[in-house]
Amino acid sequence: MSEKFAAVEIISAKRDKHELSNEQIDWTIDAYTRGVIADEQMSALLMAILLNGMNNREISKWTEAMIASGEKMNWSMLDRPTVDKHSTGGVGDKITLPLAPLVAACGAAVPQLSGRGLGHTGGTLDKLESIKGWKANLSNAEMLKVIQECGAVICAAGAGLAPADKKLYALRDVTGTVQAIPLIASSIMSKKIAEGTSALVLDVKTGSGAFMSDPKDAALLARTMVDLGKNAGVKTRALVTAMDVPLGLTAGNALEIRETLEVLAGGGPSDVIELTLLLANEMLDAVGIKPKVSPEEALKNGMAMDVWRKMITAQGGDNDAPLPVAKEKMEIKATASGKLLNLDAMKVGVAAWRLGAGRQKQGEVLQLGSGIEIHAKPGDLVTKDQAILTLHTDEVARFERAIDALVGGFSIGGKDDEVKRLPLVVERIEG
């Protein structure tokens, strides 16, 4: 068949800072999905977008075209409203795990499509695969069955959902174009809109351990995604939240499942509980649910834990099987007494990755027990030789590179020194 456009026309237009028309964008996404546009041509276009940007109309159309490349899910048969949450990822960010069953316990349906980790940020599916027998890949019919039975499901996106994004994401990852805001926003929102949820709450991380380390960039990304959701008829709001320090007291797959169970049992670290409750209230408010039992109470009284156990069982998981434990441990100790002034999220994340908690390429097998336990957070008083971190791995040889990654990762000052940290919620953005 004769093609409406030529790839080189599209590349040249964006190279020269011109707007792409709706017809050009539709053709580009469709032609790339069909294999008419070669990877090297799309790579050139992605770099032009990174350097020259897109306006709101172009981003919106690019997102629509990616949604149109596949199927769109429908939850109209459910007897409760659907709401989802997406995080841009960080170190120790296990919030999805307690949040989905908590929101379901309070009366909403949560179709949570999640991903795997790459680099220093952990993936929700990898964490859940620490649980013996748990299955990430579900058909649409299986997803529906789990939601009807449990109120929530956490699983991988099916192959039919925004297939153009899968091709584009893999290409962005190897061409240095991951950080282009139009491409990040359209990638996330194409999948979330195609997922068919009626409302969406975005958790956009900022700080050293985040994709967008500058709060201004994070806020711009959040606004762009909120606008995309609004234009598609999805009630969307965003919180820009702190990722200068790891969330909670663990970074690693089985370690974070253990911490999740502590939260669902009514305990756990205060920052994880606070952010989980903030997001739960945002999600319930977005779909107009005023729960009879508050999210805070549902965590304390075991309602959220009941949904979690039911959901894990429904996806083949054994709630009572022991979690993987790493074979080797090493403590990183304080060299002086005083106040812990900082704990760099990026350095902790890279160290956990090097210990075996993350993968360097898609498909690599993880050490599910590997990672880092955190024994002190900025503002805490510590004594000389007190353990600040415990490193976990199956291979002693990995300790050296993990320790290298932690150089300058924390500092200890005087008891009266000021601790400079981002507030947990930096900004709230609503369409």
Which of the 8 DSSP states describes residue 396?
A: G
Q: What's 110-176 look like in SS3?
A: EEEEECCCECCECCHHHHHCCCCCCCCCCCHHHHHHHHHHHCEEEEECCCCCCHHHHHHHHHHHCCC
d(C-alpha 155, C-alpha 132), whole Å: 15
Distance between start and end Cα atoms, the chain: 42
Half-sphere exposure of 161 (CA within 13 A, CB side): 22
| Residue 44, SS3 per DSSP | helix
Long-range contacts of residues 20-25, Cβ cutoff 8 Å, at least 24 apart: 20/54, 20/58, 20/61, 22/57, 22/61, 25/58, 25/61, 25/62, 25/65
Residues 125/359, Cβ–Cβ less than 8 Å: no
Residue 403: phi and psi, rounded to 5, are -65, -40
Half-sphere exposure of 124 (CA within 13 A, CB side): 24
Tokens standing for residue 313: 């069982």
Contacts of 395 (CB under 8 A, 6+ apart): 327, 328, 356, 367
Residue 426: phi and psi, rounded to 5, are -85, -40
Looking at the annotation, which residues are catalytic? 86, 165, 172, 187, 191
Q: Is the CA virtual torsion 239, 67, 50, 346 positive or negative?
A: positive
Tokens standing for residue 271: 């920052």
Tokens standing for residue 302: 């075991």
Q: Strands 328-333 and 387-393: what pairing? A: antiparallel
b/e per residue, 76-88, with b = 16+ CB within 10 A? eebeebbbbbbbb
Q: How far is CA 243 from CA 110, 123, 227, in A?
A: 25, 16, 23
Q: What's 170-239 look like in SS3?
A: HHHHCCCCCCCHHHHHHHHHHHHHHCCCCEEEEEEEECCCCCECCHHHHHHHHHHHHHHHHHCCCEEEEE
